[in-house]
Amino acid sequence: MPDPTAAVLGELCEESDELDRLVRGADPERWARATPAPGWSVAHQIAHLAWTDAAALLAVTDPAAFAAEAAKALRAPDSFVDEGARDGARLPPAELLARWRTGREALRAALLAAPAGSRFPWYGPPMAAASLATARLMETWAHGRDVAEALGAVTGPTVRLRHIARLGVRTRDHAYGVRALPPPAEPFRVELTGPGGELWAYGPPDAPQRVTGPALDFCLLVTRRAHRADLAVRAQGPDADRWLDIAQAFAGPPGPDRAPRGPSPSGTGPDRAPGALSAPAPGPAPAPEALSAPGRAAGPAPRERA
């Protein structure tokens, strides 16, 4: 039986290599370019990935030391992510790139060597090796989108999006929980069109609450890399419709949406603008295990975690 951790790690390497190709050999001016995350340059984006890889490596190899670092994060929840990115972004580009490469390879080796069934501490619930690798793939893709936009590069969707799409579906109740909203009692049906026209389906086929659309647009939605109004993701049913307003596949508190800015990456946007949320209700749902580390917002919001 194929090792799921090794399979995801292989695709994480592919995603990292694609981003690596965008920044290798870039001059300092390009490393300093602003990205869609306010206050973050290309260097900040790569520094954040290197910082989070280092945190993940610590969680795998020294859980006690990771717990101490996580406690520091809890004492400064509004600044520790920015501080980690800022410190790394001060390095010369070649040194920062080397740090990211070394760290991601060390994490890959540590996860491959981890005993079967291992679970590691994280900023949310403990995570299995395959889940941690999936979270790193999702975050690498999301921050890679920011870098590509800053550099004017065009990156097409790949089958690796299926990991992010699945993560986005699995974290449905988490999106409600971080807003102190009660999650829907019934599962949804999610049907997405993959890059090659294939169908990626999740949930009961006969579920009345449904979400459909291009996989790329759904992944942009759940990583908060685009506003819902710019995406061709559609909902059938009031609960599914509400979810699309708040969906997020990453750990941490939500932030404001990006402002709408134009046509969908895959076609025309939905027929409606996102609606207002109802008043918060008590009883947040527990967060799923496969969540990324806290990160930086994709759009104008000052504080999302992705």
How large a percentage of the chain has pLDDT more than 90?
A: 73
* Residues 199, 177: Cα–Cα separation, whole Å: 29
Mean pLDDT confidence for 241-254: 89
Number of residues written out for the chain = 306
pLDDT for 76 equals 80
Q: Is 274's pLDDT higher than 80? A: no
pLDDT for 75 equals 84
Judge contact between 230 and 119, C-beta under 8 A.
Answer: no
- Residue-averaged pLDDT of the chain: 86
**CA max distance for the chain:** 55
Q: How does pLDDT run across 43-74, given as a tens digit for each residue? A: 999 999 999 999 999 999 999 999 999 898 88
pLDDT for 305 equals 36
pLDDT for 35 equals 95
Q: What is the DSSP letter of 128?
A: E
Mean pLDDT confidence for 87-94: 97
Cross-strand pairs, 189: 210
pLDDT for 80 equals 84
Between 111 and 272, residue with greater pLDDT: 111
Query: 173: closest CA among 258, 242, 257, 127?
Result: 242
* Residues 186, 126: Cα–Cα separation, whole Å: 25
Q: How does pLDDT run across 205-225, given as a tens digit for each residue? A: 999 999 999 999 999 999 999
Q: Is 192's pLDDT higher than 90? A: yes
Mean pLDDT confidence for 240-261: 85
pLDDT for 227 equals 94
Q: Among the listed ranges 59-63, 117-121, 148-152, 284-288, which one has the minimum average pLDDT value?
A: 284-288
How large a percentage of the chain has pLDDT more than 70?
A: 84
pLDDT for 53 equals 97
Q: Is 26's pLDDT higher than 80? A: yes
pLDDT for 283 equals 36
pLDDT for 16 equals 98
CA angle 10, 201, 272 (to 5 degrees): 110
Q: Is 190's pLDDT higher than 50? A: yes
